[in-house]
Amino acid sequence: MAVSGNKIKLKTLYAKRDVLFSRIQYISDHVKNINVEAVRETFLCEIETMDSLRTDYERVLDQINNFELQIDPKYTVNYQPLLAFEDMLRRVKRTAKLLQSPSQSEAKPEAQVRTRDSIRLPPIDIPVFNGNIKTWPFFFSGFQNNIHNNPSLSDAEKLYYLISKLIGRVQSICSGFTPTANNYLLIFETLKTKYEDKKMLASEYLNQIFDLKPISSGNINGLEQFLDKFVASVPALKNLKFNDLMDVVFLHIALKKLDPDTMRAFEI
C-alpha cells in the first residue's frame, strides 16, 4: 500500500517538475525578443519569481528522488534536470542584469528590431522510451522533429528533454556520460546507434506476426486483437524499406529453426 501511495505522489511531483520547468522556459523564451517593448515589460515582471522557481524546482527534485528510493533502493539519484533548469536561469539573470544597466536606456526603438510574431503553443507531449525497440521509431520521430531539430533550444535544454523521456533499462546508457550540454550529441548518437537497427526491428515485427495465436470461430475480441497486431506490424515492416523484404522474412524463418548458439554465430 505504501509503495502504491508513493507512486501516486510521484506522478504529482513529476507533473509539478514539468510545470516549473515550463515556467522558467517561458521566461527564458522572452530573451530572443527582448528588444520588443511589450515582451521586455512582461519579462521584467516575470523575473520577480525566478528565485522562488529555483527553490521550488530543487525541492521537487529532492522529493522525487526520495520517493524513487523508497520504491526502489537501487534507484540512481538523478539531479540532471537541474542542469538544464540552471542553464536557462543563468540566461534569464544575465539578460535581466543587462536590462538594468545604464547602456540599455539607449536601446533601439521597437520599429528598428526585426521580430517575428509567435504563438505560445501548449507543451510538447513526447512519449517516453523504455528500451522497447518497437517503440523507438515513434519516440525518435517525435523527439527529433520537436526537440533535436529545434534551433531555439540549447543543448542543455535538449539533454534535459531527452533524459526526462528515458525510463527503465535505457537510462543505464546515459549513466556513463557526464550530463553536460557538451555530451548531448554523444548521448543522442549512442541511442541512435543502439536502437536504430533495421534488422532487429524487422525481427520484432515478424515475431509479432508469427506469434499470433489462432482465433476461435465467432471470437470477435480475438479477431480484433489479431487485426490490431497484424495491421500494425505489416506497414511497420514495409516502412523499413529493405531492398528485398522476402529475403528478410526467409532469413527470419530460418534463424528461428536454429539453436541460440548457432543462431548467434550465424548472425555474426
Distance separating alpha carbons of residues 70 and 244, to the nearest angstrom: 51
3-state secondary structure of 254: helix
Question: Between 113 and 210, whose confidence is greater?
Answer: 210
φ and ψ of 65, to 5 deg: -65, -35
Give the tens place of pLDDT for each residue, 195-245: 887 787 788 788 888 877 877 766 677 777 777 777 777 787 787 788 888
Q: What local confidence, expressed as pLDDT, does residue 112 receive?
A: 42
Q: Give the confidence band of 113 by pLDDT, cuts at 50, 70, 90.
A: very low
Domain layout of the chain by residue ranges: 1-114, 121-196, 198-267
Determine the Cα–Cα distance for residues 166 and 164; give it in Å rounded to an integer: 6
**Taking the model in full, what pTM does it have?**
0.47
Say which range, 14-18, 51-55, 169-173, 213-217, has the weakest mean pLDDT: 213-217
For 162-194, what is each residue's pLDDT tens digit?
Answer: 888 888 888 887 777 777 888 889 989 989 888
Amino acid at 169: R
Amino acid 74: pLDDT:
86
Long-range (24+ apart) CB contacts under 8 A made by 146-154 are 148/188, 152/29, 152/32, 154/87, 154/88, 154/181
As a whole number of angstroms, the distance between CA 253 and CA 43 comes to: 62
